[in-house]
Structure 1
Amino acid sequence: MATHYYIVGLGNPEPEYALTRHNAGKFMAGLFAQKSASWRTKASEIILPECFMNESGKFLTKNYKLPTTKLIVVHDDLDLPLGKFKIVFNRGSGGHKGVQSVIRALKTEKFVRARIGISPKKKPNHKELLKFLTSKFKPSEL
């Protein structure tokens, strides 16, 4: 049976980023792949780019010919509370550099995104943002 959907989990490749908040998209797509092995082989392909998040678009266009009508990009989202998610279509990057990379490479915003909330109750300020994004999830948050 042909692949119906391409689920792309955005994240960074290095082991030290594995359970960080900024890798929530890659983590969720990988978890989906583990939990849904039989479904994956019949109806989808999980893609976990082995590049830094901001290069995801180039990675996808170099290694895959993806119909955007069958593309689902999963990524972290600081605008959503931790534990929440939102499915959107044909939207801008919202400032997310990985999503921006995909939009630029595909030359369209017309694909589905699964936004995974990572925001704490009090959002970090600009100076604290990088530290927050690269911090690991607490066990209680997983």
Structure 2
Amino acid sequence: MWLVVGLGNPGPAYQITRHNVGFMVLDAMAKRLALKGWEEFCQALVLKSEKLSLAKPQTFMNLSGQSVSCLARQWQLFPEEILLVHDDLDLPLGRIKIVRSGGSGGHRGVASVIEHLGSRNFPRIKVGIGRPGPGKSVSDYVLSPFEEQELKVVAEIIEKAAEAIETIVESGLERAMNIFNALRPACSL
């Protein structure tokens, strides 16, 4: 059983921001699996199916680890059974990268999960959002909505990330890494 956690910030003000791409991927995954009725549990919105559970922490990004560690304790999960989906500034828009473990890369939501789980050994799907242009604040950038011309690429990569989740659950992490880490977006800006 996998716990798939999408990182983001709760509330309508953040719904379509770059930092909420983890939530967007989980919404796409829920649609693919025809799952409905998110329920509140451990400070997260949760959906369960036979092979996986989806969770969107409602604690705000920098405190995501509180929710993830509560879910891990309640469901007696090892870090290796938790798949984190989050935005990544170091990947260009439209790319995803699946990793087995690692540091936070400066992502405060990931840092919170590492701190609260007491482990860096959980797989991740990093969804590229690119970096802001010169002179722009990273904080303002990640909390801003995608530009109109980016939306086609964003829709494509959200679907690819949902496919990657399915591949991980069905065929394993290694197979998913081999398939999805080499992909380039079909759409371009």
TM-score normalized with structure 2 length: 0.67
SS of 2:133's equivalent? coil
Note if 1:22 corresponds to 2:33. Answer: no
> Residue 100 of structure 1 corresponds to which residue in structure 2?
111
Aligned partner of 1:35 among 32, 36, 60? 32
Note if 1:57 corresponds to 2:54. Answer: no
Aligned-residue identity in percent = 39
Contact 2:72 2:78 in 1 (8 A): no
Deviations 1:101-135 (A, max 9, x none): 00000001101000000005xx4357521121111
Q: 1:102 to 1:125 in 2, by over 3 A?
A: farther
Contact 2:94 2:129 in 1 (8 A): yes
Give, in angstroms, the shift of residue 49 of structure 1: 0.8
The runs of 5 or more residues in structure 2 that have no matched partner are 36-47, 155-189
Aligned partner of 1:6 among 3, 6, 9? 3
CA distance in 2, matches of 1:124, 1:101: 27
Contact 1:21 1:137 in 2 (8 A): yes
Contact 1:57 1:105 in 2 (8 A): yes
Aligned partner of 1:114 among 125, 138, 150? 125
> Residue 82 of structure 1 corresponds to which residue in structure 2?
93
CA distance in 1, matches of 2:109, 2:134: 20
CA distance in 1, matches of 2:106, 2:135: 13
CA distance in 1, matches of 2:129, 2:70: 29
Give, in angstroms, the shift of residue 61 of structure 1: 1.8
CA distance in 2, matches of 1:8, 1:100: 14
SS of 1:6's equivalent? strand
Aligned partner of 1:134 among 121, 134, 143? 143
- RMSD across aligned C-alpha pairs, in angstroms? 1.8
Q: 1:70 to 1:126 in 2, by over 3 A?
A: farther
Contact 1:30 1:48 in 2 (8 A): no
SS of 1:42's equivalent? coil
The runs of 5 or more residues in structure 1 that have no matched partner are none
Q: 1:16 to 1:63 in 2, by over 3 A?
A: same
Equivalences, count: 136
Deviations 1:79-108 (A, max 9, x none): 001011000012100000000000000001
Give, in angstroms, the shift of residue 63 of structure 1: 4.2
TM-score normalized with structure 1 length: 0.87
Contact 1:9 1:30 in 2 (8 A): no
